[in-house]
Amino acid sequence: MSRAEAARGASPLWTLGLFRSELLTTFRRWRTLALLGVLAAVPVLVGVAVRIETGDGSSAGGGGGPAFISQITNNGLFLVFTALAATLPFFLPMAVGVVAGDALAGEANAGTLRYLLVAPAGRTRLLVTKYATVMAFCLVATLVVAVSALVTGALLFPLGDLTTLSGTRIGFAEGLGRALLIALVVAASLTGVAALGLFVSTLTHSGIAAMATTVGLLITVQILDQIPQLHALHPYLFSHHWLSFADLMRDPVYWDDLTRNLGLQALYAAVFGSAAWARFTTKDITA
């Protein structure tokens, strides 16, 4: 079933056939596969670098880097946490920004957008489906990093019970459960970027322009978050609490920054999602 047929075939806001078609279209693109390949390679590079460094008798981490990196040699599961910490500031949101920015602008550039808008209220349904597809990519991309790190950590380092950041010991099964929970939190942390990229995608007919703008905004926000003079603004930037997922490796778990992060992502999703809806439902579609 083509995407246009899926859009014609049902009237409810949520159309499973259209969503399935969008997923297949997104994950069959060479650009998407290349992004996932790069994300999968990052944990391998980190693991090999740590292995080489410790093989030379050096102390992993050298006193810097993510809080988990010095623990990798003791337990390969820590490579999952380190890889997510390494990819979240740039690689993961950049990949999401590329997919979200191209979601609607790419269709317009290819001349296929108007063929998807063939049913009553088709614009709202299509917008919701596009956002759901981008969020599915957020989850898949995060899991690709986590699984790649887990496999690499198991091959290069020992596995077993691990020590939390609070100094307590937990079993490997519980640690694996926390790793999965951290991956889900990281995926949820990208909802704001996804909504921002989708909004930008409604503003132009050029997929490249939308992707470049989204990534540019991401970099700008990251820079603003590093300027001490703007400390009053930092708590409101979508990237400020991204690394709060590390609190899931404390015992007991420290929830304050985690809830702030998820609440902020929900706010960004609501604001930019509403802006995207207002723009897209009133936009003159010519392509």
Instruction: Kindly report the pTM of this predicted structure.
Output: 0.88
68 burial level (CB within 10 Å; 0-12, 13-18, 19+): buried
CB 18 within 8 A of CB 125: yes
Do you know the residue count of the chain? Answer: 287
Query: Chunked in runs of 10, what are the mean pLDDT values of the chain (287 residues)?
Result: 52 68 91 95 93 65 54 88 92 94 86 70 84 96 97 92 87 93 96 96 90 92 92 93 91 91 96 94 71
Q: At what angle do helices 78-87 and 172-188 cross, to 10 degrees?
A: 10
